Structure 1
Amino acid sequence: MSKVEEKLAELGLTLPPVAAPVAAYVPALRSGDLVFTSGQLPVVGGKLPTTGKVGAEVSPEEAKDLAQICALNALAAVKSVVGDLDLVEQVVKVVGFVAAAPDFHAIPGVVNGASELLGTVLGEAGTHARSAVGVAVLPLDAPVEVELVVRVKAA
Protein backbone atom coordinates (compact mmCIF):
# COMPACT_ATOMS: atom_id res chain seq x y z
CA MET A 1 0.00 0.00 0.00
CA SER A 2 1.33 3.43 -0.94
CA LYS A 3 1.95 6.15 1.65
CA VAL A 4 -0.88 8.11 0.03
CA GLU A 5 -3.29 5.20 0.47
CA GLU A 6 -2.09 4.75 4.06
CA LYS A 7 -2.91 8.42 4.71
CA LEU A 8 -6.35 7.91 3.17
CA ALA A 9 -6.89 4.92 5.47
CA GLU A 10 -5.94 7.07 8.49
CA LEU A 11 -8.73 9.43 7.42
CA GLY A 12 -11.17 6.52 7.12
CA LEU A 13 -11.15 6.74 3.32
CA THR A 14 -10.28 4.22 0.65
CA LEU A 15 -9.32 4.67 -2.95
CA PRO A 16 -12.31 3.54 -5.02
CA PRO A 17 -12.17 1.54 -8.23
CA VAL A 18 -11.76 3.76 -11.30
CA ALA A 19 -15.14 5.12 -12.30
CA ALA A 20 -16.29 3.85 -15.68
CA PRO A 21 -16.48 6.57 -18.34
CA VAL A 22 -19.99 7.72 -19.26
CA ALA A 23 -19.00 8.63 -22.84
CA ALA A 24 -16.11 8.25 -25.34
CA TYR A 25 -12.99 9.05 -23.26
CA VAL A 26 -10.52 7.50 -20.84
CA PRO A 27 -10.43 8.31 -17.11
CA ALA A 28 -6.81 9.55 -17.27
CA LEU A 29 -4.00 9.97 -19.75
CA ARG A 30 -0.29 10.37 -19.20
CA SER A 31 1.79 12.72 -21.36
CA GLY A 32 5.43 12.78 -20.29
CA ASP A 33 5.55 13.58 -16.61
CA LEU A 34 1.97 14.89 -16.49
CA VAL A 35 -1.24 12.97 -15.91
CA PHE A 36 -4.50 14.60 -16.98
CA THR A 37 -7.70 13.19 -15.54
CA SER A 38 -11.03 13.47 -17.24
CA GLY A 39 -13.67 15.22 -15.19
CA GLN A 40 -14.60 12.93 -12.31
CA LEU A 41 -18.12 12.85 -10.96
CA PRO A 42 -18.90 11.91 -7.34
CA VAL A 43 -19.71 8.34 -8.30
CA VAL A 44 -19.89 5.84 -5.43
CA GLY A 45 -20.50 2.18 -6.18
CA GLY A 46 -21.31 2.94 -9.80
CA LYS A 47 -23.91 5.63 -9.16
CA LEU A 48 -24.31 9.21 -8.01
CA PRO A 49 -25.37 9.51 -4.35
CA THR A 50 -27.39 12.62 -5.20
CA THR A 51 -28.23 14.85 -8.14
CA GLY A 52 -29.34 18.42 -8.63
CA LYS A 53 -28.15 21.97 -8.26
CA VAL A 54 -26.06 23.22 -5.37
CA GLY A 55 -28.00 25.85 -3.48
CA ALA A 56 -31.31 24.20 -4.42
CA GLU A 57 -31.58 20.40 -4.13
CA VAL A 58 -28.03 19.98 -2.75
CA SER A 59 -26.64 21.87 0.23
CA PRO A 60 -23.21 23.53 0.03
CA GLU A 61 -21.92 21.21 2.77
CA GLU A 62 -23.11 18.11 0.92
CA ALA A 63 -21.60 19.45 -2.31
CA LYS A 64 -18.25 19.98 -0.58
CA ASP A 65 -18.32 16.32 0.51
CA LEU A 66 -19.18 15.33 -3.07
CA ALA A 67 -16.17 17.31 -4.33
CA GLN A 68 -14.01 15.22 -2.00
CA ILE A 69 -15.44 12.07 -3.60
CA CYS A 70 -14.60 13.53 -7.01
CA ALA A 71 -11.01 14.05 -5.87
CA LEU A 72 -10.81 10.46 -4.63
CA ASN A 73 -12.10 9.26 -8.00
CA ALA A 74 -9.51 11.46 -9.73
CA LEU A 75 -6.72 9.97 -7.60
CA ALA A 76 -7.95 6.50 -8.55
CA ALA A 77 -7.76 7.54 -12.22
CA VAL A 78 -4.20 8.80 -11.71
CA LYS A 79 -3.22 5.53 -10.04
CA SER A 80 -4.70 3.60 -12.97
CA VAL A 81 -2.06 5.07 -15.31
CA VAL A 82 0.97 5.35 -13.00
CA GLY A 83 0.43 2.35 -10.73
CA ASP A 84 1.46 4.03 -7.45
CA LEU A 85 0.25 7.33 -6.01
CA ASP A 86 3.60 7.79 -4.28
CA LEU A 87 4.88 8.75 -7.75
CA VAL A 88 2.84 11.98 -7.59
CA GLU A 89 5.28 14.87 -7.21
CA GLN A 90 2.79 17.72 -7.49
CA VAL A 91 -0.86 18.40 -8.11
CA VAL A 92 -0.40 21.12 -10.70
CA LYS A 93 -4.00 22.15 -11.34
CA VAL A 94 -7.48 21.39 -10.07
CA VAL A 95 -10.55 22.41 -12.03
CA GLY A 96 -13.85 22.13 -10.19
CA PHE A 97 -17.25 22.55 -11.78
CA VAL A 98 -20.33 23.15 -9.64
CA ALA A 99 -23.86 22.88 -11.02
CA ALA A 100 -25.22 25.89 -9.19
CA ALA A 101 -28.68 27.29 -8.62
CA PRO A 102 -28.88 30.79 -10.17
CA ASP A 103 -28.51 32.53 -6.81
CA PHE A 104 -25.70 30.30 -5.46
CA HIS A 105 -22.31 32.01 -5.57
CA ALA A 106 -20.15 30.11 -3.05
CA ILE A 107 -18.54 27.97 -5.76
CA PRO A 108 -14.97 28.11 -4.30
CA GLY A 109 -16.16 26.76 -0.95
CA VAL A 110 -17.61 23.69 -2.64
CA VAL A 111 -14.43 22.97 -4.60
CA ASN A 112 -12.49 23.27 -1.33
CA GLY A 113 -13.71 19.73 -0.64
CA ALA A 114 -11.35 18.49 -3.35
CA SER A 115 -8.52 20.92 -2.59
CA GLU A 116 -8.49 20.23 1.14
CA LEU A 117 -8.45 16.47 0.61
CA LEU A 118 -5.51 16.72 -1.80
CA GLY A 119 -3.58 18.89 0.65
CA THR A 120 -4.29 16.59 3.57
CA VAL A 121 -3.38 13.41 1.71
CA LEU A 122 -0.44 14.65 -0.37
CA GLY A 123 0.96 17.38 1.87
CA GLU A 124 3.04 19.96 0.00
CA ALA A 125 2.59 17.94 -3.22
CA GLY A 126 -1.14 18.62 -2.93
CA THR A 127 -0.70 22.41 -3.22
CA HIS A 128 -2.09 23.48 -6.58
CA ALA A 129 -3.42 26.16 -8.87
CA ARG A 130 -7.20 25.99 -9.24
CA SER A 131 -10.25 27.11 -11.10
CA ALA A 132 -13.72 26.87 -9.54
CA VAL A 133 -16.47 27.31 -12.10
CA GLY A 134 -20.23 27.52 -11.68
CA VAL A 135 -22.20 25.89 -14.50
CA ALA A 136 -25.85 25.36 -15.40
CA VAL A 137 -25.71 21.57 -15.62
CA LEU A 138 -23.22 18.68 -15.42
CA PRO A 139 -23.35 15.15 -16.86
CA LEU A 140 -26.01 12.91 -15.27
CA ASP A 141 -27.25 15.97 -13.33
CA ALA A 142 -24.24 15.64 -11.00
CA PRO A 143 -23.80 18.54 -8.56
CA VAL A 144 -19.99 18.59 -8.84
CA GLU A 145 -17.20 17.49 -11.19
CA VAL A 146 -13.44 17.69 -10.63
CA GLU A 147 -10.45 17.17 -12.90
CA LEU A 148 -6.76 17.14 -12.05
CA VAL A 149 -3.41 17.67 -13.71
CA VAL A 150 -0.60 16.05 -11.72
CA ARG A 151 3.14 15.82 -12.26
CA VAL A 152 4.60 12.39 -11.58
CA LYS A 153 8.11 10.96 -11.27
CA ALA A 154 9.59 9.55 -14.44
CA ALA A 155 8.77 5.92 -15.10
Structure 2
Amino acid sequence: MSAVEDKLADLGLTLPGVAAPLAAYVPAVRTGAYVYTSGQLPLVDGKLPLTGKVGAEVTPDEAKDLARTSALNALAAVKSVIGDLDRIARVVKVVGFVASAPDFTGQPGVINGASELLGAALGDKGIHARSAVGVAVLPLDAPVEVEIQVEVAD
Protein backbone atom coordinates (compact mmCIF):
# COMPACT_ATOMS: atom_id res chain seq x y z
CA MET A 1 0.00 0.00 0.00
CA SER A 2 1.22 3.52 -0.80
CA ALA A 3 1.90 6.24 1.77
CA VAL A 4 -1.09 8.11 0.33
CA GLU A 5 -3.32 5.09 0.92
CA ASP A 6 -1.89 4.76 4.42
CA LYS A 7 -2.84 8.41 5.05
CA LEU A 8 -6.35 7.71 3.73
CA ALA A 9 -6.56 4.74 6.11
CA ASP A 10 -5.55 7.06 8.98
CA LEU A 11 -8.54 9.19 7.95
CA GLY A 12 -10.79 6.11 8.10
CA LEU A 13 -11.03 5.86 4.31
CA THR A 14 -10.29 3.08 1.85
CA LEU A 15 -9.53 3.72 -1.79
CA PRO A 16 -12.42 2.19 -3.75
CA GLY A 17 -12.23 0.36 -7.03
CA VAL A 18 -12.54 2.52 -10.11
CA ALA A 19 -16.13 3.52 -10.86
CA ALA A 20 -17.38 2.07 -14.13
CA PRO A 21 -17.94 4.70 -16.85
CA LEU A 22 -21.57 5.62 -17.52
CA ALA A 23 -20.97 6.28 -21.24
CA ALA A 24 -18.25 6.23 -23.92
CA TYR A 25 -15.18 7.42 -22.00
CA VAL A 26 -12.45 6.13 -19.69
CA PRO A 27 -12.05 7.09 -16.02
CA ALA A 28 -8.60 8.67 -16.52
CA VAL A 29 -6.04 9.36 -19.24
CA ARG A 30 -2.33 10.01 -18.93
CA THR A 31 -0.53 12.26 -21.38
CA GLY A 32 3.10 13.05 -20.69
CA ALA A 33 3.52 13.92 -17.02
CA TYR A 34 -0.19 14.57 -16.42
CA VAL A 35 -3.25 12.49 -15.61
CA TYR A 36 -6.71 13.89 -16.29
CA THR A 37 -9.70 12.20 -14.73
CA SER A 38 -13.17 12.15 -16.13
CA GLY A 39 -15.81 13.65 -13.87
CA GLN A 40 -16.27 11.40 -10.85
CA LEU A 41 -19.64 11.07 -9.18
CA PRO A 42 -19.90 10.25 -5.46
CA LEU A 43 -20.68 6.61 -6.15
CA VAL A 44 -20.35 4.17 -3.26
CA ASP A 45 -20.50 0.52 -4.29
CA GLY A 46 -21.89 1.64 -7.66
CA LYS A 47 -24.75 3.70 -6.19
CA LEU A 48 -25.36 7.32 -5.30
CA PRO A 49 -26.03 7.74 -1.56
CA LEU A 50 -28.11 10.88 -2.26
CA THR A 51 -29.64 12.55 -5.29
CA GLY A 52 -31.09 15.97 -5.99
CA LYS A 53 -30.13 19.62 -5.90
CA VAL A 54 -27.92 21.17 -3.26
CA GLY A 55 -29.89 23.77 -1.37
CA ALA A 56 -33.13 21.85 -1.93
CA GLU A 57 -33.11 18.04 -1.44
CA VAL A 58 -29.44 17.89 -0.36
CA THR A 59 -27.88 20.06 2.35
CA PRO A 60 -24.54 21.81 1.78
CA ASP A 61 -22.92 19.63 4.46
CA GLU A 62 -24.20 16.44 2.81
CA ALA A 63 -22.93 17.71 -0.54
CA LYS A 64 -19.52 18.51 0.95
CA ASP A 65 -19.26 14.88 2.11
CA LEU A 66 -20.27 13.75 -1.39
CA ALA A 67 -17.56 15.94 -2.93
CA ARG A 68 -15.07 14.18 -0.65
CA THR A 69 -16.30 10.83 -1.96
CA SER A 70 -15.99 12.08 -5.54
CA ALA A 71 -12.37 13.10 -4.88
CA LEU A 72 -11.66 9.66 -3.42
CA ASN A 73 -13.10 8.13 -6.59
CA ALA A 74 -10.89 10.47 -8.64
CA LEU A 75 -7.82 9.23 -6.77
CA ALA A 76 -8.88 5.66 -7.60
CA ALA A 77 -9.08 6.64 -11.28
CA VAL A 78 -5.58 8.16 -11.09
CA LYS A 79 -4.22 5.01 -9.44
CA SER A 80 -5.70 2.90 -12.25
CA VAL A 81 -3.43 4.76 -14.69
CA ILE A 82 -0.21 5.23 -12.68
CA GLY A 83 -0.33 2.23 -10.33
CA ASP A 84 0.92 4.02 -7.20
CA LEU A 85 -0.49 7.23 -5.73
CA ASP A 86 2.92 8.05 -4.25
CA ARG A 87 3.93 8.95 -7.82
CA ILE A 88 1.69 12.05 -7.69
CA ALA A 89 3.99 15.08 -7.78
CA ARG A 90 1.08 17.43 -7.19
CA VAL A 91 -2.60 17.96 -7.80
CA VAL A 92 -2.67 20.73 -10.39
CA LYS A 93 -6.38 21.50 -10.72
CA VAL A 94 -9.74 20.45 -9.34
CA VAL A 95 -13.01 21.22 -11.10
CA GLY A 96 -16.16 20.67 -9.08
CA PHE A 97 -19.72 20.79 -10.37
CA VAL A 98 -22.62 21.27 -7.96
CA ALA A 99 -26.20 20.59 -9.03
CA SER A 100 -27.70 23.65 -7.39
CA ALA A 101 -31.12 24.91 -6.42
CA PRO A 102 -31.73 28.24 -8.21
CA ASP A 103 -30.85 30.35 -5.16
CA PHE A 104 -27.90 28.27 -3.90
CA THR A 105 -24.55 30.10 -4.05
CA GLY A 106 -22.37 28.00 -1.75
CA GLN A 107 -20.60 25.94 -4.44
CA PRO A 108 -17.08 26.75 -3.14
CA GLY A 109 -17.93 25.42 0.33
CA VAL A 110 -19.30 22.21 -1.15
CA ILE A 111 -16.20 21.57 -3.26
CA ASN A 112 -14.04 22.18 -0.19
CA GLY A 113 -14.92 18.56 0.62
CA ALA A 114 -12.78 17.46 -2.34
CA SER A 115 -10.01 20.00 -1.73
CA GLU A 116 -9.72 19.18 1.96
CA LEU A 117 -9.49 15.44 1.24
CA LEU A 118 -6.72 15.96 -1.32
CA GLY A 119 -4.82 18.17 1.10
CA ALA A 120 -5.20 15.67 3.94
CA ALA A 121 -4.11 12.72 1.78
CA LEU A 122 -1.29 14.40 -0.14
CA GLY A 123 -0.10 17.26 2.06
CA ASP A 124 1.52 20.08 0.09
CA LYS A 125 1.21 17.98 -3.10
CA GLY A 126 -2.57 18.27 -2.70
CA ILE A 127 -2.67 22.09 -2.87
CA HIS A 128 -4.25 23.02 -6.19
CA ALA A 129 -6.00 25.54 -8.41
CA ARG A 130 -9.77 25.06 -8.51
CA SER A 131 -13.11 25.93 -10.04
CA ALA A 132 -16.47 25.34 -8.33
CA VAL A 133 -19.39 25.62 -10.73
CA GLY A 134 -23.13 25.53 -10.14
CA VAL A 135 -25.10 23.57 -12.74
CA ALA A 136 -28.76 22.71 -13.33
CA VAL A 137 -28.38 18.92 -13.31
CA LEU A 138 -25.70 16.21 -13.28
CA PRO A 139 -25.73 12.58 -14.48
CA LEU A 140 -28.02 10.27 -12.48
CA ASP A 141 -29.28 13.37 -10.61
CA ALA A 142 -26.02 13.41 -8.63
CA PRO A 143 -25.56 16.44 -6.37
CA VAL A 144 -21.83 16.80 -7.19
CA GLU A 145 -19.19 15.75 -9.69
CA VAL A 146 -15.42 16.27 -9.37
CA GLU A 147 -12.56 15.94 -11.82
CA ILE A 148 -8.87 16.34 -11.06
CA GLN A 149 -5.65 16.86 -12.98
CA VAL A 150 -2.41 15.63 -11.45
CA GLU A 151 1.25 15.81 -12.35
CA VAL A 152 3.10 12.51 -12.08
CA ALA A 153 6.74 12.10 -11.04
CA ASP A 154 8.61 9.31 -12.77
TM surpasses 0.5: yes
Residue 105 of structure 1: aligned partner: 105
What are the ranges of 5 or more consecutive residues in structure 2 without an aligned counterpart? none
Measure the CA separation in 1 of the matches of 2:113 and 2:11. 14
Deviations 1:80-126 (A, max 9, x none): 00000000000000000000000100000000000000001100000
Aligned pairs (5 A) from 1:5-154:
5-154=5-154
Measure the CA separation in 2 of the matches of 1:52 and 1:104. 13
Shift of 1:142: 0.2
Measure the CA separation in 1 of the matches of 2:34 and 2:18. 18
Shift of 1:153: 1.0
SS of corresponding position for 2:89: strand
SS of corresponding position for 2:42: coil
Measure the CA separation in 1 of the matches of 2:23 and 2:142. 15
What are the ranges of 5 or more consecutive residues in structure 1 without an aligned counterpart? none
SS of corresponding position for 1:116: helix
SS of corresponding position for 1:53: coil
Q: What is the TM-score normalised by the length of structure 1?
A: 0.99
Shift of 1:43: 0.2
Deviations 1:27-64 (A, max 9, x none): 00000000000000000001111100000000000000
Measure the CA separation in 1 of the matches of 2:51 and 2:59. 11
Q: Which letter does structure 1 place at the counterpart of 2:13?
A: L
Deviations 1:61-86 (A, max 9, x none): 00000000000000000000000000
Shift of 1:144: 0.1
Measure the CA separation in 2 of the matches of 1:63 and 1:120. 18
Aligned-residue CA RMSD (Å):
0.3
Measure the CA separation in 1 of the matches of 2:76 and 2:117. 14
SS of corresponding position for 2:69: helix
- Runs of 4+ with deviation above 6 angstroms: none
Q: Which letter does structure 2 place at the counterpart of 1:31?
A: T
